Structure 1
Amino acid sequence: MSSPRQSSIGVGIVGLSARRGWASLAHLPALQRLQGFELRALSASSAESARQAAAKYGVAQSFGTADELAAAEEVDLVVVTVKVPNHREIIQSALAAGKMVLSEWPLGNGPAEAEELAATAAGRGLHTFTGLQARSAPTVRYLRDLVADGYVGEVISTSLVASGGGWGTEFPAGGAYLLDRANGATMLTIPFGHTTDGLTMVLGDIEQVTAVTATRHREVKDPQSGRVYRPNVADQVVFGGVLSSGAVASVHYRGGVSRGTNFHWEINGTDGDLVITGDTGHLQMGEFSIDGAHGSAAELSRLTVPERYFDPALHDVRGTPAYNVGAAYAQIQRDLADGTSEVPDFAHAARHQRLLDRIERAAEHA
């Protein structure tokens, strides 16, 4: 019988802290429920922070730097869950060590960094993965298949309006970096970026682009300290375009939350309509419902996502951020075993960051 080390993918997470964070909220519970992965190492902001996290989560090895983690022989897959400005250096270190990398989205701080990382990975022939986990969501996968199977006929248009959650009148603790465009973590790159990637998975690539952006919340308060910030990131993103199929698309993201609609997506075709609703504009981690009608049906009715779209191993984390992340990990395992590429790689991430850059540039010249 092979040892666990031979049969499992050894994972090292950069940014898994003993304090609450995305890695502990989503990656850790996902890995704990999946066969074929073994969390063997972590690194944090310091050696002591890493030791505390390792003790809390029962991880064998802890490192004070990402370089040390990447060099560890036991680590096969380096998972990068730190803030965007730190991605490039950490990912380059992991690639130089010959390791597979799963990076949270956005891959780089702007398209140039993303393209550099994609080129480095391609030049070394390494497997890479990007955390665009809306593509792993059962709802999004079911929508893709409904459209592909002709539920709405030919898609004529699609329209989406959503709230960013953040980028409103207040921001969460530790979220000041989200208010500075230079950090690459904005409403455009995060909820808008995740959702438009899901949209293109369902409906095809975006070809023509028009856009308007604006910063309407000119002063934003830290709810804990009361300090006032003046953001330079857009809290209004209005995108219009044409998909590769010829269908017309419109998307409007608003900062903060709405007392009315926080997510409403329609797909309208020659023979039917689909309406997707939810309470958050983050398609990558929210819970969404689908209503549809086609053929002679005059009214929408609820469509239940079939059980075959769900992973039984992740049953007890349905409805949490860990589910879609876990589904992406499970697909990574299948991609490696079968030679497929369902999980977006760095090349895909670079293309998507170029699209977001096109939207920003279109808005600047509107």
Structure 2
Amino acid sequence: MIRVGVVGASGWADSSHLPALTALEQFDLTAVATTNQASAARAAATHGARHAFADSRELTSHPEVDLVVVSVKAPGHAAVIRAALDAGKHVVSEWPLGIDADEAAELTEAATAAGVVHAVVLQGHHSPSARFVADLLANGRIGTLESIALVAEGAPFGGSRIWPDLVFSLDPSAGTNIVTIMAGHFLSALEPIAGPLTEVSARLPRTHDRVLVAGTDQTVPNDTPSHVLLHGLLANGATASIAVHGGNGPTQDGFLLELIGSDATLTATPTQPGTFIHWGDWEVRIGKETLTVPDTYRTVPASVQSGPPANIAALYQEVAQAITDARQPHPSFETALRHHRLLAAIEQSAADGTARSIS
């Protein structure tokens, strides 16, 4: 049994990590931490944790914690991760790993030196739909892949207004915006299917210099992009055309993915409109034929609710197996670092108007 402590238990983790962990028999949720004792106690009571802390350092050093989950805002990831590594604990960090590629490199180096298991929550890697589509391509169902095209909604980022709890994201130094969160997750879901991008040419338009704080009359300055427009080349020679458009939300259609092959075109859309490509199930079609994702691609217990908890639970299953096998899981901090460098190349291309290579 792997004893887990979750830092940031009252935010995103409350509806994703905690339901996933409590549904898996390999894990024992022993501790939670939030920014104050009252909310920590509520999270502990709701999810059955024995310990509740208002100081994350108490959690990372606690003897009943083997694995630390980092689910705070991106600027706070590094401090919690370093504390966990200093205590010799395994780490699962939410994406993005750090606020930029340099910080991600430092954290990856530190995790490697610590000799612990480390993973990052790029849950698209564990999407049953994405893995099914990857196998369809590998088995030649559409012939040779020639091109991919993705149009996806990036709300709640990039619109003319922002939720009060996301105002911090309007500062690029926060590492949380339509590029890092939305494009980051969407691209991470595509690479296991189509292979890695090796060259990118991008535009990052900023439509709104100031945005309205939802529910108020206040506007605040915005220094982050509203949209992500990307053309690229894949390692297998195929081309990629990707558009992530921002908005106020809620999302309407979610995404449209086309994989164009030499023999046929595969199209994927969400089975539940408005869900993101790395969260929910896909409706998959080749030509006019609709294909059903076989149950064998779903590895998590039926008790895990659909949506974010499902793919995150699959990641935790991979982490548990990696701890047993004394290896690194996928995706690891190394995966995250490569992904950070891809996003940095996109930002650099948009800044100077040149194509950028990704090693």
TM-score (norm 2): 0.93
- Structure 1 residue 339 displacement after superposition: 4.9
Determine if contact 2:119/2:329 at 8 Å carries over to the other structure: no
Deviates more, 1:327-336 or 1:302-311: 327-336
Measure how far apart 1:322 and its partner are: 1.0
1:153–1:271 CA contact under 8 A, matched in 2: yes
Structure 1 residues 324, 312: closer, same or farther in 2, change over 3 A? closer
**What is aligned with 1:305?**
293
**CA 1:85–1:237 in structure 2 vs 1: closer, same or farther (change >3 Å)?**
same
Q: Distance in 2 between matches of 1:281 and 1:35?
A: 28
Q: Which runs of 5+ in 1 are unaligned?
A: 1-7, 294-299
Task: Please tell me whether residue 286 in structure 1 is matched to residue 286 in structure 2.
Answer: no
Query: How do residues 1-366 of structure 1 correspond to structure 2 at under 5 angstroms?
Result: 8-17=1-10, 21-167=11-157, 168-256=159-247, 257=249, 261-278=253-270, 279-280=273-274, 282-293=276-287, 300-311=288-299, 313-318=301-306, 320-339=307-326, 341-366=328-353
Structure 1 stretch displaced more, 49-58 or 36-45 = 49-58
CA shift at 1:290, angstroms?
1.1
Q: Secondary structure at the match of 2:155?
A: coil
Q: Could you say if the C-alpha distance between residues 258 and 25 of structure 1 is closer, same or farther in structure 2, counting changes exceeding 3 Å?
A: closer
Deviation at 1:73, TM superposition (A): 0.9
Alpha-carbon displacement from aligned partner over 1:125-179 (angstroms, at most 9, x marks no partner): 1110000001111111111111111111111111111110212122234111122
Shift of 1:315: 4.5
The 1:281/1:186 distance shift into structure 2, 3 A limit, reads farther
Note closer, same or farther for the CA distance 1:341–1:152 as it changes in structure 2 (3 Å cut): farther
Percentage of pairs with the same residue: 35
Task: State the AA in 1 paired with 2:111.
Answer: A
Q: In structure 2, the residue corresponding to 1:282 is in which secondary structure?
A: coil
CA separation of 1:105/1:316 partners in 2, compared to 1, >3 Å: closer, same or farther?
closer
- Residue 346 to residue 312, structure 1, CA distance change in 2 (3 Å): closer
Q: CA deviation at 1:219?
A: 3.0
**Whole-Å separation in 2 of the counterparts to 1:265 and 1:340:** 33
Comparing 328-337 with 248-257, greater Cα deviation is found at 328-337
- Structure 1 counterpart SS, 2:260: strand
Residue 357 of structure 2 is matched in structure 1 by: none
Q: Give the letter aligned to residue 208 of structure 1.
A: E
| Structure 1 position 69, deviation (Å) | 0.7
Structure 1 CA distance, aligned partners of 2:317 and 2:254? 30
| d(CA) in 2 for partners of 1:325, 1:261 | 23
Shift in Å at residue 55 of structure 1? 3.0
Contact 1:164 1:281 in 2 (8 A): no
CA pair 61-25 structure 1, distance change in 2 beyond 3 A: same
Whole-angstrom CA distance in 2 between matches of 1:130 and 1:240: 26
Q: Report the RMSD for the aligned CA atoms in angstroms.
A: 1.8
Alpha-carbon distance change, 43 to 231 in structure 1, aligned in 2, over 3 angstroms: same
Task: Specify the SS of the correspondent of 1:166.
Answer: strand
**231-240 vs 221-230, greater mean Cα deviation:** 221-230
Alpha-carbon distance in structure 2 between the residues aligned to 1:53 and 1:260: 31
Distance 1:239 1:26, change over 3 A: same
* Pairs aligned (count): 349
TM-score, structure 1 normalization:
0.91
Structure 1: distance between partners of 2:116 and 2:150: 36
User: In the aligned structure 1, how far is the partner of 2:125 from the partner of 2:251?
Assistant: 28
Runs of 4+ in 1 over 6 A off after TM superposition: none
CA 1:178–1:282 in structure 2 vs 1: closer, same or farther (change >3 Å)?
farther
